[in-house]
Amino acid sequence: MGNQTIKNRCFSHLSYEERVSIELMKNQGYSIRKIAKALSRSISSISDELNQKQVKGIYLAKKAHLKTYQRRYWSKYQCFKGLEYQSLIQDKLTLRWSPERISGYLKRQGNPISAKAIYKFCHSRYLERYLWKPKKTKHKKAAYLRDYRKFAIREPIFETGHLEVDFVVSSANTQCLLVAVDRYSRLTVVLKLENRNKETIIQTFELLKQRIRITDVITDNDIAFSCWGELEKKFGLEIFFTQPYRSWEKPLVEQTNKLIRQFIPKKTNLRLVSQRKLQQVHQFLNQTPRQCLNYLTAYEKHFILSK
């Protein structure tokens, strides 16, 4: 019986509804033991709640909840050594930096603050709205063309020039974004296209080759790349395709597309996306510290490799 009680016990913080129940049961003369049993809480939790959150000897759920919020709000004050780091962290959060990236950036600056502490800071300040939560999405099945195409075999790489390429499309019109990510330096190029026909794709690769080194490309079975043989001959590169229905074989560009969707949500009319907005996307993708690059930015990593 004792084991069953421990198994069903809740170890989370008291909710406002539970505090209202505590106030009602206390006013009705319930003992601490009976309140704890009714809420499946430990006796010590209820005792501490009543002793610490009373105001002039009276327990009120509304005031107790407010005192808890104030205690959480100031809980990380000493950790961040003043308002300087608090404002810096909030500024980086508004730029959509993750707590891990902020922590890595501060460590490079000589200020070791853990990502766990930053997460606690977010929860204590109710800043969870700045924390990116990936949503589960259903991917449409790619059109598989049997034309002797080469399928990707992912191997370790130690140089730039190996790209993953994909499209961000719109249901409103034919315009789209071509996203190219270097697998080694993580340098990303996003180009706006009027359509995905053969001539546009060839012109786009001419522009892409001027901006980033290309040795080979991994992409999915989009019909836009049915001219892959002509691209290989014209630009002297190799194009590999993922297996049908296996978009996870190009995970880097898939994750990049999710990050782009923070700036350009689904169902956005891409015709209305300005160059200024694309510049904002480039700045976020290429000038934000990355954990996989030891908290260097993609620009910094690319610059080091190009020396």
Instruction: Tell me the C-alpha distance between 292 and 74, whole Å.
Output: 32
Asked if 155 and 268 sit in the same domain, the reply is yes
Cβ count within 10 A of residue 63: 15
Asked if 41 and 97 sit in the same domain, the reply is no
Q: What pLDDT is recorded for position 282? A: 94
Q: What pLDDT is recorded for position 216? A: 94
Average pLDDT over residues 19-28: 89
Asked if 90 and 159 sit in the same domain, the reply is no
Side by side, which strands form the sheet with 216-219? 150-151, 238-241, 216-219, 162-169, 176-182, 188-193
74: helix, strand or coil? coil
Asked if 265 and 182 sit in the same domain, the reply is yes
Q: What pLDDT is recorded for position 203? A: 93
Average pLDDT over residues 101-121: 86
Q: Is the pTM of this model over 0.75?
A: no
Asked if 236 and 294 sit in the same domain, the reply is yes
Residue 138 has pLDDT above 80, yes or no: no
Asked if 232 and 257 sit in the same domain, the reply is yes
Question: Which structure tokens are listed for 79?
Answer: 């950790």
Q: Is residue 192, in this structure, part of any structural domain at all?
A: yes
Where in the chain does DSSP place strands (E)?
150-151, 162-169, 176-182, 188-193, 216-219, 238-241
Residue 141 has pLDDT above 60, yes or no: no
Q: What pLDDT is recorded for position 277? A: 94
Question: Which structure tokens are listed for 55?
Answer: 């105001």
Q: Is residue 159, in this structure, part of any structural domain at all?
A: yes
Q: What pLDDT is recorded for position 58? A: 87
Mean residue pLDDT of the chain comes to 84
Instruction: Tell me the C-alpha distance between 107 and 112, whole Å.
Output: 5
Reported confidence tier of residue 183, pLDDT bands at 50, 70, 90 = very high
Asked if 188 and 271 sit in the same domain, the reply is yes
Asked if 187 and 297 sit in the same domain, the reply is yes
- 33-83, pLDDT tens digit by residue? 999 988 889 999 898 888 888 888 888 888 888 877 767 655 555 555 555
Q: Is residue 230, in this structure, part of any structural domain at all?
A: yes
Reported confidence tier of residue 2, pLDDT bands at 50, 70, 90 = very low
Residue of 181 and 85 predicted with greater confidence: 181
Could you give the number of structural domains in the chain?
3
Asked if 158 and 299 sit in the same domain, the reply is yes
Cβ count within 10 A of residue 102: 24
Q: What pLDDT is recorded for position 52? A: 84
Q: Is residue 141, in this structure, part of any structural domain at all?
A: no
Average pLDDT over residues 220-246: 89
